[in-house]
Amino acid sequence: MASEKEPGDIPAASPSTPPAEPEKRKREYKDFGHEEEKATHANVDMSTIELKAEDLYDKEKVDLETIVIDDVFKLLQCDDNGLSAEEAQRRLELFGPNKLESEEQNAILQFLSFMWNPLSWVMEAAALVAIALSNGEGRAPDWQDFVGIVLLLFINSAIGFYEERNAGNAVKALMDSLAPKAKVKRAGTWSEIESSELVPGDMVSFKIGDIVPADCRLTEAINVSIDQAALTGESLPQSKKSGDQCFSGSTCKQGEAEGVVISTGANTFFGRAASLVGQDDDTTGHLQKILAQIGSFCLIAIGLFVFLEIVILYPKFHYTYRRGLDNILVLLIGGIPIAMPTVLSVTLAVGAQQLAKHKAIVTRITAIEELAGVTILCSDKTGTLTTNKLTIDKDTIRTYSSFSPDDVILLAAYASRTENQDAIDMSVVQAIGDTARARAGIKLLDFKPFNPVDKRTEITYREEATGKLKRVTKGMTGIIIELCTRNKTEELENKLEADVEEYATRGLRALAVAYEEVDGDDFEAEGNGFELIGLLAIFDPPVKMVTGDQLAIAKETGRRLGLGDHMYPAKVLKDGPAPGSKHRSLDEMIMDADGFAGVFPEHKYEIVKRLQGLGHLCAMTGDGANDAPALSRANVGIAVEGATDAARGAADIVLTEPGLSTIVHAIRGSRIIFQRMRNYSIYACAVTIRIVVCFAILAFAYQFDFPPFMVLIIALLNDGTIMTLSVDRVLPSMTPDSWDLAEIFAYAVAYGLYLTLSTIALVIIIMETTFFQDKFGVALETSPVVANDPQLHMVVYLQVAIISQALIFVTRSHSFFFMERPSAALFCAFCLAQLVSSIIAAYGDWGFTNIRAISGGWIGIVWVWNIIWFFPLDFIKFGMKATVIKYLRDRHAKAAAAAAQHDAAEGVPMTRTQSRAASIHESLYSNRVSFIKRAARKVGFGGKISMKPEELQRFSSIQAQRVGATLARNPSRTA
């Protein structure tokens, strides 16, 4: 035993102490985390203060956080009387003010940035074509198209601008939570100054209720207790003694203290968190990535047919300049889904209002879309997991005796607390329906609650109906089976093991239940032996816990919440897996872990970054300033109820009610919103194909010149109707959503080509035959009908407008369109748009565009024609599902299986990733572009704190780097 002791261990006081006790205590104590940090000396010659900067980068030589106080005073060139006013002013110029700078953004540049993406570029080009290039041949510029296009662009930008200007600034929130005033000793005299004027080397004082104004080492401490929960995540206030470090922004809960300031502003613990928050501002959101790819699909389709029109219409048909340009404008205006960012923005904004009803406030609106696809939720413990709800899966209960599943749940409920419940007891009691049944018909004689050693609960009770004493226990499977002496056999253990493994593969946790009877009236007597009666399955939310608390507390929290206790101390994130362990890489260890304890801001940041590197969309919950960097880095940062301003500023979603149930509502709501956006994306791509292919073919076949203004009318009516998709009735998926763009494009091409066929068939019948004229007595202006008959244009307008919009009822449903009722808003908007289209068709004699009103007979023909062509759309959807979509999904599943096998064989690769997928192309949709940032900097709009990544890696010695290096270069005296 002696050989196992750490240096400094106290020997056992009594030889009679059982040997197992110290061993157990020692193991538990070791798990408890915080390693004792002993005072160190700077390994440099302290007789001279002329230190080199490279020496200060070496933590082996000097670390202001741990070296003895005397060395701190020497290194910082100060004493306990404080600095002189002149020296304080000199250091203020050297180190800057003790506050965090926030970036102010120019509103005009921010608004204009929303018009800077490829979809907008094409529409801007179309506007220029309409106003500048459409001159000549005796015709005026195309003002109507120009005004309509510009109006669409400005509406889109205004919505995006409004959303972003309302978003909170995370760095500003961190800055605002710094202490505004500080008590400082200068030249031997105490005074109160603005905390922003503090400099390294100042002597400061604080007492109960004060916020620590800067990172400092205590020189005097009288019964001091500091609450660091908002910074480090520790649940309880920490006692501090002379020589200890206190962090800026933490709160003094007890006692009085004096200390010497060792770092200020951006170089404090708090400031480092702020710089981490600002690190990822150059990346684009996941929604922007999808928009980029959908935009590319539409641009390629339009570009291809514009090119074909140029090389066919001009050389072959000798089109004049202006006539060919009008045809190209039709493709540009009709094909570009310019309203896509606007429609999606409105969908997200309405969704945000709906989430607010569930007490979830959205601060970055595109986070809703990302939340729908989140595959891993990393949760901070403190204030986040305290009201977690687990659920018993009744359909998967296993029984091993004569008891039925209902009996097993009832007996398990007996063995659960009915008050002061932990999450597992609550889930078991709620599973029986009426919670009063958990104590009905029995008299409680003895109850043993769960504890980390026994890992089970136990009740002894008297059954009132028979008067017999009985005992039930529930708990961890391995513990319970060891107690079961009555029916434990090799066969039973094998079956139990197989059932637990099956649960595990399905993401369920197992809870074993055993039962015995007790002879006589002594409730403390031994029973007749436990008998395993059942195994309960508990839904285990896919959560990883990331907490600054101690390891044992983290494990216990994990046990109580059913999250598992497979947790590691934060040091493994630096050291990696131990040699010979089952994990071949740190990434594999992170994926396997239930959580991490004792973490600092960049630990949480690193965990999230690595999970993203493994291809996961990651959500992070938290409540303190220490969580802000990881909240900012995560695809979706969630600040829980009671979070600090710093965490709220960094988060994308802020909860105003405690517990994970609010997050569940938010995820469900986000998946509903995702379905609405997916439905719209299929519709928008299909309409692009339909307009571009249809009008290009008509131009090639009949030299058909459709008026560009009527395409703009179709786009306006379509987009106005589609806005109501934001409140459509849809069902959320049961698994994380993801954008399968191959599926979306496949559906779009199928629908688009079918709708193209419907229009071309109508035009052929009208132009090549007299079927409608003979059967229904209708006529057009020209006879025989020519391609550019103004009334034929109107017929085509009405046919395209009606059936294109009706397509949304097919794309929004999984079954037949009439099986899933749309929202009243969508249906009414559709009816109103079709009424407007029909009225335009009946009365639209507009001189500036080549159309003429048509008779009621033609309107009726178009409606009937569209209805006939509409019904087969569902069968196209089913046919696509059975063929192309099935093939795409099978191919995707095979690729995923192959990747999993490769990872199992080779180990999980470590790939560097940005928090939100970004490339040069995708960043064009980020509403932030480098030239705008550079322009803002040139004209002096705001600055930003920056910190090099290598400095962040040297977390504990950054203060020495900044303070010591600066003073070494600018000594106030020489020794």
Residue type for position 716: L
Whether 658 and 387 have beta carbons less than 8 Å apart is answered as yes
Tokens representing 513? 């239940």
* 3-state secondary structure at position 582: coil
Whether 808 and 679 have beta carbons less than 8 Å apart is answered as yes
Residue 531: exposure state from Cβ atoms within 10 A (0-12, 13-18, ≥19)? buried
Q: How many whole angstroms separate alpha carbon 269 and alpha carbon 262?
A: 11
Give me the phi and psi of 403, to 5 degrees please.
-80, 145
Residue bearing tokens 């029973």: 527
Whether 246 and 212 have beta carbons less than 8 Å apart is answered as yes
Whether 755 and 804 have beta carbons less than 8 Å apart is answered as yes
Residues 813, 817, 820, 823: is their CA dihedral positive or negative?
positive
Pick from 647, 637, 555: nearest CA to 596: 555
Q: How far is CA 654 from the centre of its chain?
A: 12
Tokens representing 158? 């205004």
Residue bearing tokens 């199928």: 750
Q: How many whole angstroms separate alpha carbon 550 and alpha carbon 254?
A: 22
Tokens representing 515? 């039962």
Tokens representing 736? 């994380």
Helix axes of 741-768 and 856-870: crossing angle, nearest 10 degrees? 140
Pick from 740, 748, 755, 757: nearest CA to 686: 748
Length of the chain, in residues? 975
Indicate which residues carry an active-site annotation: 380
Whether 450 and 415 have beta carbons less than 8 Å apart is answered as no
Where helices occur in 397-528 by DSSP H, the ranges are 405-414, 423-431, 477-483, 490-505
DSSP 504-531: HHTTEEEEEEEEEEE-SS-TTS--S--E
Whether 840 and 707 have beta carbons less than 8 Å apart is answered as no
DSSP state of 338: T
Whether 377 and 662 have beta carbons less than 8 Å apart is answered as no
Q: How many whole angstroms separate alpha carbon 352 and alpha carbon 346?
A: 10
Whether 215 and 76 have beta carbons less than 8 Å apart is answered as no
* 3-state secondary structure at position 94: helix
DSSP state of 782: S
Q: Name 688's bridge partners.
A: none
Residue type for position 388: N
Tokens representing 587? 């990434």
Residue type for position 702: Y
Instruction: For residue 222, give Cα distances in angstroms to 36, 241, 244, 862.
Output: 21, 8, 12, 89
Q: How many whole angstroms separate alpha carbon 226 and alpha carbon 900?
A: 47
Is beta strand 618-622 parallel, antiparallel or unpaired with respect to 456-463?
A: unpaired
Q: How many whole angstroms separate alpha carbon 692 and alpha carbon 298?
A: 10
Q: How many whole angstroms separate alpha carbon 789 and alpha carbon 795?
A: 10
Residue bearing tokens 């080549």: 850
Residue 56: exposure state from Cβ atoms within 10 A (0-12, 13-18, ≥19)? buried
Tokens representing 319? 């089109």
Instruction: For residue 581, give Cα distances in angstroms to 168, 585, 664, 707.
Output: 44, 10, 35, 71
